[in-house]
Structure 1
Amino acid sequence: MLIGLLTAVAASICYGTGSVLQAVGSRRAARENPAAAGVTAHGGPNLTSTAKAAMTWEFILGTVLDFVGFGLGALAARLLPLFLSQTVISANLVITAVLSVKMLGIRLSRKEWASIATVCVSLVLLATAAGHEGSGHTDRATHWWLLAVTLLIIVGGTVAVRFLGARAAILAGLLSGLGFGALGVGVRVLDGVDPFDPVTLLTDPALYAIVVAGAGGMYLHTIALQIGSVNGATAALVVGETVLPGAIGVLWLNDASRPGFAWLAVTGFVLAVAGAVAVAWFGKHGAPAGQPEPEPAPALVP
Structure 2
Amino acid sequence: MLIGLLTAIAASICYGTGSVLQAVGSRKSARREADASGVTQHGGPNLSSTAKAAMTWEFIVGTILDFIGFGLGALAARLLPLFLSQTVISANLVITAVLSVRMLGIRLARKEWTSIGVVCSALILLATAAGHEGGSHTPIATHWWLLVIAVALTVGGTLAVRLLGARAAILAGLLSGLGFGALGVGVRVLNGVDPFDLSALLSDPALYAILVAGIGGMYLHTVALQIGSVNGATAALVVGETVLPGAIGVLWLGDASREGLAWMAVLGFVLAVAGAVAVAWFGAPEGGEETAQAEEPQPGELAKSSPSGV
TM-score (structure 1 length as normaliser): 0.97
**Unmatched runs of 5 consecutive residues or more in structure 1:** none
Deviation at 1:174, TM superposition (A): 0.1
For 2:64, the equivalent position in structure 1 comes to: 64
Once residues 163 and 157 of structure 1 are traced to their aligned partners in structure 2, the CA distance between those partners, rounded to angstroms, is: 10
Q: Does 1:293 align with 2:259?
A: no
Q: How does 1:1-302 map onto structure 2 within 5 Å?
A: 1-35=1-35, 38-287=38-287, 291-294=292-295, 295=297, 297-301=305-309
Judge which range, 224-233 or 23-32, deviates more.
23-32
Deviates more, 1:12-21 or 1:22-31: 22-31
In the TM superposition, residue 33 of structure 1 has moved relative to its aligned partner by: 4.9
Number of residues paired by the alignment?
302
Give the AA of the match of 1:201.
L
- Give the conservation status (yes or no) of the 8 Å contact 1:50–1:223: yes
Cα distance in 2, alignment partners of residues 170 and 191 from structure 1: 34
Is the CA contact (8 Å cut-off) linking 2:30 and 2:226 kept in structure 1?
A: no
CA distance in 2, matches of 1:270, 1:194: 33
Cα distance in structure 1, aligned partners of 2:37 and 2:11:
31
Q: Give, in whole Å, the separation in 2 of the partners of 1:239 and 1:72.
A: 20
Measured in 1, the distance between the counterparts of 2:292 and 2:198 equals 47
> In 1, are the aligned partners of 2:103 and 2:306 still within 8 Å (CA)?
no
The gaps in structure 2 that reach 5 residues or longer are: none
Per-residue CA deviation, residues 74-130 of structure 1 (Å, 9 max, x unaligned), is 000000000000000000000000000000000001111000000000000000000
Amino acid paired to 2:216: G
TM superposition shift of 1:249: 0.1
Kindly indicate whether the alpha-carbon contact (under 8 Å) linking 1:224 and 1:233 is maintained by their aligned counterparts in 2. yes
8 Å CA contact retained: 1:37, 1:45? no
Distance 1:215 1:288 in 2: 28
Which amino acid in 1 is paired with 2:154? I
TM-superposition CA deviations, 1:142-186 (whole Å, max 9, x none):
100111111111111211121111100000000000000000000
- Give the conservation status (yes or no) of the 8 Å contact 1:157–1:172: yes
Residue 30 (structure 1) shift: 2.6
Distance 1:11 1:267, change over 3 A: same
Give the distance between the partners of 1:206 and 1:165, measured in 2 at CA: 31
Structure-2 separation of matches of 1:224 and 1:114: 24
Q: Contact (CA 8 Å) 1:239, 1:277: kept in 2 or not?
A: yes
Q: Between 91-100 and 34-43, report the one with greater CA deviation.
A: 34-43
- Tell me how far 1:35 sits from its aligned partner: 3.9
% of aligned pairs identical? Answer: 78
